[in-house]
Structure 1
Amino acid sequence: DVVGDPALDPLGRLNALLAKSRQAKVETAAEAWALFETMFRPENLVLFHRINVAANAAFSPLLVEIIKQGVADGTFRTFDPEGVADIVMQFGLATHDVIAKAFAGGSDADMDIAIETLERRVRLYEIALDRILGLPDGSIRIGAPGYVRAVMTARRASPSSSVAAAASKARRM
C-alpha cells in the first residue's frame, strides 16, 4: 500500500503511486488497445467520459490522501487537496483529442505526432503539478522515458516481446 508506506515521505508516496499507475498501463497496453480504439472514436465520447468518471472515483481518493499527508507535514503547499486531485484527473481528459486524432488518422506518422505531443504534455503536466504543490520543477514524475511510446505503440508490438520489455523497463524506472 503506497498511501501508508512509512518508508516514503508524501512526495515519495505520490511518485510511487504514479509509477504504479504507469506500470499497470504498460503491462496491460496491448490488451487495452481494443478498448482504446473503441473508446476514442468520436461516437463514443460518452463512453470515454463514463470510464474516466469511474477511474476518478478509484484513483482520486488515493491522490487526496497523499496530498493531505504532504500538506500536514509541509511537503506540499496547497489549500485544496481535493482540487489538486481533480486537476490531476483532468490531465488525462485533456489528452483525449490528441489520442483520438492519432486513431482517426491511423498512420504511423499520425501516431508519431501524437506520441511527441503527449510526451510534451506529460512534461508540462509534471511541471504544473510541481508548481501547484509548491515543489521544485522535476519533483513529480507522471511519465518516464519511453513510457508514452511503449503504451501508444503496444498494439503494433508482439505481446510476448515488446510489451514485456517495456513493462520490464517501466518497473526499473
Structure 2
Amino acid sequence: MPRVVKQKDIRQVEVLDQALALFLEYGYDNVSLNDLLAVSGTSKGAFYHYFPSKEALVTALAERSAAEAFDRLKPVFEQAGANALERLNAGLAASYEVKMAMGAPEQLAAMASLLKPHNQALFDQIITIWEDLFRPVLTEVIAQGVYEGVFDTFDPEGVGDMIQGFAASMRKTLVGTLNAPDPTSRQEILDVCVKRLKLYGIATDRILGLPDGSTVVLDRKQVEAMIALLSPQPPDGSAT
C-alpha cells in the first residue's frame, strides 16, 4: 500500500494539536522532544523541518491561539453604532468568554513553568505575539474615543499597551499565586485576584480620563471559574 504523504501545513497542524494535548496532560517542562516525536510519529528530521525547536513549536501554538482569539474578538471591538467606551467594554467582556471557550485557563496552567526564570524569554515572546496582534485594534478604539471626547489621553497606543500590560501582569499574579511554595487556599487566591483586578480597572479608568468604575473588569464569579479550571481542588486548597 503506498505511503500517504500529507501536505506540510496539514502535518504541522496535526503536530501542534498532538503537542498541545501532551502539554495539557503533563505540563510544558515535563514533555521532552522525544515525547513529542513519539506521540506525533515524526522523525527528528521531520520535526525540525516543521519546527526548529520545542520553543518554536510553543511559539507556533501561541500564534495560532492568538490568531483564533483575534478573529473572534475583532468584530466585537469594531461593532458599528457603539461609542468607543461601549466598544472597549464589549471587547474586554468578550475576551473572557472567548478565552474560556478556547480553554485558555487550562493552557495557562499547562504552561505555568514558562514563568520560571529559565523560560522567561519564551514567555515574553508569547506575550509579545498577543500584544502585537491586538495593539492596532486597541489603539484604534482609544483614538476614536479621544476624537469622540469620551477618552482623554495624549497617547492612545501607550494606553493600549498599559491595558495589555495589566492583563499580562494578572496572568503572572494568578499562576504565581497558584504555584507558590506554601499552599494557598482558593479563597485567598480569589481575594488577591479580585483586589488586583479592581486596581487595574481603576488605573485604566484614570489613564483614559474616566470616572472610576467605567471600564469592565472580571467579577468575583468569573475569577472563581478561572481558578477552578487552573487548579481543580477543594475550596480549602487541600489536595484531592
Where do 5+ consecutive residues of structure 2 fail to align? 1-74, 234-240
Match in the other structure for 1:53: 128
Paired residue for 2:193, among 107, 114, 118?
A: 118
What's the % identity of the aligned pairs? 35
Counterparts of 1:42-81 in structure 2, within 5 Å, are: 42-81=117-156
Relative to structure 1, the CA distance from residue 136 to residue 40 in structure 2 (aligned partners, 3 Å threshold; closer, same or farther) is same
Match in the other structure for 2:166: 91
Paired residue for 2:100, among 26, 30, 36?
A: 26
Secondary structure at 2:122 match in 1: helix
Contact 1:60 1:85 in 2 (8 A): yes
Secondary structure at 1:79 match in 2: coil
CA distance in 2, matches of 1:15, 1:6: 14
Match in the other structure for 2:84: 10
Determine which structure has more spread, i.e. the larger CA radius of gyration: 2
Aligned Cα root-mean-square deviation (Å): 2.2
Counterparts of 1:81-160 in structure 2, within 5 Å, are: 81-95=156-170, 96-97=172-173, 99-105=175-181, 107-109=183-185, 111-157=186-232
Secondary structure at 1:59 match in 2: helix
Deviations 1:89-133 (A, max 9, x none): 111333325532421437352x44333212111111111111111
Match in the other structure for 2:19: none
Secondary structure at 1:12 match in 2: helix
CA distance in 1, matches of 2:227, 2:158: 29
Relative to structure 1, the CA distance from residue 129 to residue 4 in structure 2 (aligned partners, 3 Å threshold; closer, same or farther) is same
Relative to structure 1, the CA distance from residue 24 to residue 41 in structure 2 (aligned partners, 3 Å threshold; closer, same or farther) is farther
* TM-superposed deviation, 1:25: 2.4
Match in the other structure for 2:112: 37
Between 30-39 and 46-55, report the one with greater CA deviation. 30-39
CA distance in 1, matches of 2:214, 2:98: 21
Contact 1:78 1:133 in 2 (8 A): yes
Secondary structure at 2:110 match in 1: helix
Relative to structure 1, the CA distance from residue 120 to residue 36 in structure 2 (aligned partners, 3 Å threshold; closer, same or farther) is farther
CA distance in 2, matches of 1:60, 1:54: 10
AA of the residue aligned to 2:96: R
Where do 5+ consecutive residues of structure 1 fail to align? 159-173
- When the two structures are superposed, what TM-score results if normalisation uses the length of structure 1? 0.79
AA of the residue aligned to 1:45: Q
CA distance in 1, matches of 2:226, 2:182: 16
CA distance in 2, matches of 1:30, 1:100: 14
